[in-house]
Structure 1
Amino acid sequence: YTNQFSQPITQIANLSNTIQSTIASAERIFEILDAKEMTNDFKNLPKNIKNPKSLLSFDHVKFGYSDNLLIKDYSLKVDKGQMIAIVGPTGAGKTTIINLLERFYDVKDGSIRYKGFDTRTLTRPEARSHFAMVLQETWLFTGTVFDNIKYGNEQATEDQVVSAAKEAYADGFIRQLSKGYQTILNESASNISQGQRQLLTIARAFLADPEILILDEATSSVDTRTEILIQRAMEKLQSSRTSFVVAHRLSTIQNGDNIVVMNHGSIVETGTHEELLDANGFYADLYNSQFSNGAI
């Protein structure tokens, strides 16, 4: 009798938990559905510049996720072929710069210009079409290896896909898979290693042939030997392109044309490696802490 009495009470308690979880999930879903569409309806935008000297520029940019500004009156000129490194401790706001470039967020004041055009005058797909990203966390979908690489350029031919894989040093391991380029990757791509997944995303960037390249510690998941090969390929890829490199290991960005140093969400220093070391500021402290006692 005790079991018969307690069983429906337990079922009601479990059902109550399910209902509460459903209500919370529904609120989040409807919050997204009710969110306002992102538009390009901006007023009083600065005029476009004809024949600009720089490929990309930050003009007195101000930005903050709330009323508190993280970036205050920041300006930067980026010429074609330059490498801009973004460094700082975890949570410093390095990704914020990338979010502004890709228009995941729009600036509060000032402007980001691409070839003289305020990026807010471009649609988001137009603005993002000039970029290719290789992130620290790989992103592959269920499908063949060939399709995952071709996602970088839907118009690419089979020869171009294979060529991109060779440039990224991915062709060798792909041909060793059971069905080569037609091997099906599962949902999490767990049937290949983390390093191999990273090589596929790098091959995708080669195929996209972007004007501006964004690298977020792209070689962190590959072994030392593969990293050396990828660094060589990246140098070739970056040689004719503008690139933004989010770096944690400062040894990889010493040759950068400009280094943007961030801390607590704000840009604290800008300059070349030598200039920042001579300034003996926050960057110098970061650099010395990584290389103290001979540790890299």
Structure 2
Amino acid sequence: MTASTDTSGGGAVKQGAQGSAGTGDVRVPAQVRGVGLERDVPGAAGSAGAAGSAVRGEHTHSEVPIPCPREGGGERGARAVVQRASVRGQILDALRTALVTGELRPGEVYSGPALGERFGVSATPVREAMQQLALEGAVEVVPNRGFRVVERGASELAELAEVRALIEVPVMLRLARTVSAERWAELRPLAEASVRAASSGCRATYAESDRVFHRALLSLSGNRQLVQIAEDLHRRAQWPLVGAAALSRGRAELVADAAEHLALLDALIAQDLDVVRALVGEHFAGA
């Protein structure tokens, strides 16, 4: 996976509670506002209608259409499927960042129209991104209201660590026996990048760098299905827990976690299987 643009730096836009919407305070990264879509400024009646739709939840028919680009200044430009996918992808990245940083709080319900208003886009790409997060288990659909961020406890995190170890430890031990030291050395820049990301203290920045490193490791197996399943488990393990534990990992813990990447590479190069097994298990447990 190539690292996506970090949307966690800088400020966030905050929306107050919206009557019966049940959304609570909605905070999303400010950088995603205006993600390539131009919106007409609505009149007073339009604004009132949009606000009412956001309050009521997911039932709205006032979504802003995505403009159709023209090729070479001509009239042949059809609806830009690629552009639509790009907008949805940016929204999905931003929502994932908001989950990791705790901007989207466990147990809170967020509506598509309300989040769309904060992003500066229509509700449609937000809903599409939320549906993907629902498939990943990050949120659950609340009929006529929106999406609730799933609440996770320490027991679920431990279960994820166990499953990741069952899948990845045997693969890493096999790779340690078969992959050359030169190939492992090629991954050192990614490990060092994760250390720099951890030093920033930004959980979202480190989470992305961490996934990039682990994906590169497992990609050496040549098993794309394995990489995809492992990345899904990895992403789930990075979502915050409920309560005070949600934002408990500080800069020092992130740096210590990243340092294990360098130690793992050293063990893989040395083909020290006992250290590889121990490091992978401990790394998952502390994720």
TM band (smaller chain): under 0.3
| Structure richer in helix, relative to its length | 2
| Structure richer in strand, relative to its length | 1
TM-score computed with the length of structure 1 as normaliser: 0.25
TM-score computed with the length of structure 2 as normaliser: 0.25
Q: Greater Rg, structure 1 or structure 2?
A: 1
